[in-house]
Amino acid sequence: MVLVETARRSGSLHTARFALEQGRDVLTVPGSPLDPRCDGCNALIRDGAVLVHHADDVMAALDVGRAFPPPPPLVEEPEREHHLRPDDISTDARQQIIDALGLAPVDVDELIHHTDLSVSVVHIVLLELELAGRLERHPANRVSLTG
């Protein structure tokens, strides 16, 4: 816990005192003895809190230099479809999307999952249907065929 400008009667001061009683790390930035907003921090330093002048003081008090586990391996980004055009989409894929749609609204993500087609293919076909006046969009990313 790091405190800056804590008055003598503040909730953060009470929390810091409890932390000190439990042997937890409490760090504080000293302030002017003439500023009542700093009375709490100055009292905490007197009572055993670590005095902080620089960020290095915080790092040293928290032992940040200790060994950390190695970072997880980088996740490779999946290959993206490059410049997918409507001509590249098969008639079967179009029909599969139309068959999965109905008059009842369905979530687009569910449609993608159900058809097992790429996001790009589904969105292109949905746009084509919408432009043809055969698709209606609903709130919450839901779509349906027009009646």
pLDDT tens figures, 45-73: 888 888 888 888 888 877 766 666 677 77
Q: Residue 68 falls within a domain, yes or no?
A: no
Whether residue 138 is found in the same domain as residue 93: yes
Tokens representing residue 60 in the block: 């040293």
Considering the domain architecture, whether residues 8 and 45 belong to the same structural domain is answered as yes
First to last CA, the chain: 62
Cβ neighbours around 43 below 10 Å, total = 16
Query: Which two three-digit tokens encode residue 12?
Result: 């953060």
In a domain, 141, yes or no: yes
30 is a domain residue: yes
What does pTM read for this prediction? 0.46
Q: Residue 14: inside a domain, yes or no?
A: yes
Q: Are residues 6 and 56 in the same domain?
A: yes
Number of separate domains in the chain? 2
Q: Identify the pLDDT of residue 142.
A: 95
Q: What is the mean pLDDT of the chain?
A: 86
Provide the residue range defining the domain that includes 8: 2-61
Tell whether 57 and 93 lie within a shared domain: no
